Structure formats: C-alpha cells, structure tokens
Amino acid sequence: MSLSASEANQVKIAPVVEGVLTAFLERWSARSFAGREVSPETLRKIFEAARWTASAYNEQPWRFIVARKGEAVYEKISAALIGFNQSWAGAAPVLILGVAKAKFTHNGTDNAWALYDLGAASSYLALQATALGLTTHQMAGYDQAAARKALSIPEEYALGAVIALGYQGDPAALGNEQLIDLETKPRDRKPLGEIVFSAWGEAAAL
C-alpha cells in the first residue's frame, strides 16, 4: 500500500533528541513534489535565513540563482541535471543553483572557504524551508560546465549544488519503485561515536 506524503514524512522524521531544534530532525531530502506554487513571500523568508549565515571574513560569497517552473532559467538548470535527477526534479516548483565567489573582495586572494560557506548557507536555506513546511533536495548530479555556460556564470565563481524546493508530494507520484522506496524508507545516520572525537579515532565522551 502506497504511503501518502504526510505518512512518508512521519517515517523520515529523526528520533526526538531533547533540546535539538525540530527543523533539524524533520529536514530530509524528498524527491516527490506537489504542484503547489511557492509564494515570493515564502522564498524571501528562506533566502533571508541563508543571508545570515556566518562566513570567512564576513565575505558572504554565496550567490543563488532561483527559478520557478515555467521560466527559461528553470529549463536551463533542469537541462543541466543528469538523467536520474531530471526524472523527478522537474516536478519541483523551484530550482536553485548555488555558486560561490572564489576570491576575497578585500584583497583578491583565493577564498579556500568559499564552497564551505556556500554549503553552510544552503543548510540554513534548507532548515528554514523545513520550518515553513517545505522540502528541499540538494543535488551534485549535474553538468557544471553546461550550467555555467547556459547561465553565463563568470569563471571566478565556483559552482555548488542544485537545490529542488517545494511542498512534499505523495511518493506514488514518482512512478518508479526505486524512487518510491527511497522516499518511504527510514533514514539513518552514523552514531556520534564515529564522527565526534576527543583524539583522532577516539570517540568523545558525550
């Protein structure tokens, strides 16, 4: 029996940890999107959250190219996706491409942390979207050269992920058993002992 969007969402919610913000536990990368549009007001709130991300030297190197379904820019971003991602991401009402200015403004030297800071901003974006009842899915699977050319992105900007954004749809709408399975199985994560150390390879006492 196929799960509804709300039922799939319940399966994906992480176990409650006291004191951890609910947006962190509820955020997951859905692939099924409803046809519902995302309002400009909602998008503004999402990007406002990203705007306040910390960055090296307060450079704020992130830039986001945002496109709504039906716009020419949306089609350009979609065309750059690999086939697997094209098979589901085209239902998302919004596609976003994140890029990062690769040199510091204050002295023109290479900013080795630009993509790190873009990733942080993208996380803020995703968490704010979750808090507003939307879902996001960040994708590495796209042709960077094709996207850069189609969108006229200068060479001094490094490309990050493409983000599909919208309201969650029913898993059955994906029409593919592999995708439906990914949409409906519980999430898991490595235990803290494998990722938080007090010395290299030694689990911190948390």
Q: Which residues contact 126 (CB under 8 A, 6 or more apart)?
A: 27, 136, 138, 163
Percent of the chain with pLDDT over 90: 99
5-203: CATH, from 3.10.20.80, 3.30.720.210, 3.40.109.10, 3.40.50.720: 3.40.109.10
Tell how far CA 16 is from the center of its chain: 22
Q: Indicate if the pLDDT at residue 1 is higher than 70.
A: no
Q: What is the pLDDT of residue 2?
A: 82
Q: Which three-class secondary structure string do you get for 146-171?
A: HHHHHHCCCCCEEEEEEEEEECECCH
Q: How confident is the model at residue 92 (pLDDT cuts 50, 70, 90)?
A: very high
Q: Indicate if the pLDDT at residue 205 is higher than 90.
A: yes
pLDDT digits (tens, 9 = 90+) for 107-122: 999 999 999 999 999 9
How, if at all, do strands 94-101 and 157-166 pair? antiparallel
Domain boundaries, the chain: 5-203
Mean pLDDT of 181-197: 96
